[in-house]
Structure 1
């Protein structure tokens, strides 16, 4: 384990949120899409179920997308902004099936504030650990999804949104075979 379990959950959730807009797809087109996403991510707390809430999550997604591939100083500024905007106040909590972990907002805080704060708190650990290189963009030429590399040897290059790794490896194999046949 590289990071605390709640940090890894929050980082994966941030990746999944960012990737709802990868490759010119919009997977959060409706409030129902947002609710499905939140249920899949097991995100707790209040929901307004409005178009304004959906818009705020899309703005957060854009902020996280920019943060994901930024340098350490820019990422730190972005994290601090997310925390300040949410008036974050870290506290240790235990609920549902989750053991002790950090929340920095109340369950009643606006959804975008809660999600942004959770992502920011996780990215703090990434920055402090000097592990920003684990936050990448997919190596496939035709993909702009993001990647969280939690592998031991820092070798994860491709996203989990499709079959980028397989497609890239097959293309390389075919290119090698074609070159051999010439």
Structure 2
């Protein structure tokens, strides 16, 4: 799996989505990555084909355990709030790929910087490199201020805002944003119940 420094949105999106699979965030639905099959579904939803899985068709329980540990590491990184620390820790995630950046042509023939996983790395290490590359791209292109906690009072999620305007407020807009909008709507419809 190659990670492009230019297309940081994939890595940043995987960071956001991985952190928000936790039961800490998904209080109403619970843990998303309950088994190795759920991890496989997560990878498929993001159209990821890690090199670590090329010799087998699906993630293992060991892969799941390592990815869950990575999830805690990424959450701590996102919560740090320090751009220097973010850069240092994101660089450490990229280092786990066991290789260096390379300059190659993309599908359109343009030169791009990529990080590709070295031989024998684990699934978690490949995801770490993808996430680290995405976070470094966000830091370089947008700023560390784009790493935020969810604005919903009922959510402990974190996210990386890669939108053009930079005004995203919720870790999962379709879930957290909708819940807040429904609550506000109900309060307007029945003000006597809200007070």
Which TM-score band applies after superposition, normalised by the shorter structure?
0.7 to 0.9
Cα RMSD between the aligned structures?
A: 3.0
Whether 2:29 is the aligned partner of 1:31: answer no
| Residue pair 1:88, 1:105 contacting (<8 A) in 2 also | yes
Q: 1:158 aligns with which of 152, 170, 186?
A: 170
What is the TM-score of this pair, normalised by structure 2? 0.76
Instruction: Give 1:109 deviation, angstroms.
Output: 2.2
Q: Secondary structure at the match of 2:21?
A: helix
Matching residue of 1:69: 79
Matching residue of 1:167: 179
Instruction: Give 1:130 deviation, angstroms.
Output: 5.2
- In 2, the alpha carbon distance for the partners of 1:150 and 1:124 equals 12
Matching residue of 1:118: 130
Q: Secondary structure at the match of 1:136?
A: strand
Instruction: Give 1:75 deviation, angstroms.
Output: 1.0
Would the alpha carbon gap of residues 81 and 4 (structure 1) be closer, same or farther in structure 2, given more than 3 Å must change? closer
Moved more, 78-87 or 68-77: 78-87
**Alignment: residue pair count:** 178
Matching residue of 1:60: 70
Instruction: Give 1:40 deviation, angstroms.
Output: 1.4
- In 1, the alpha carbon distance for the partners of 2:44 and 2:165 equals 32
Higher RCO (CA < 8 A, seq sep 6+): 2
The C-alpha deviation readout for 1:114-136, integer Å capped at 9, x for no partner, is 11011111111222235112121
What is the TM-score of this pair, normalised by structure 1? 0.81
- In 1, the alpha carbon distance for the partners of 2:67 and 2:16 equals 14
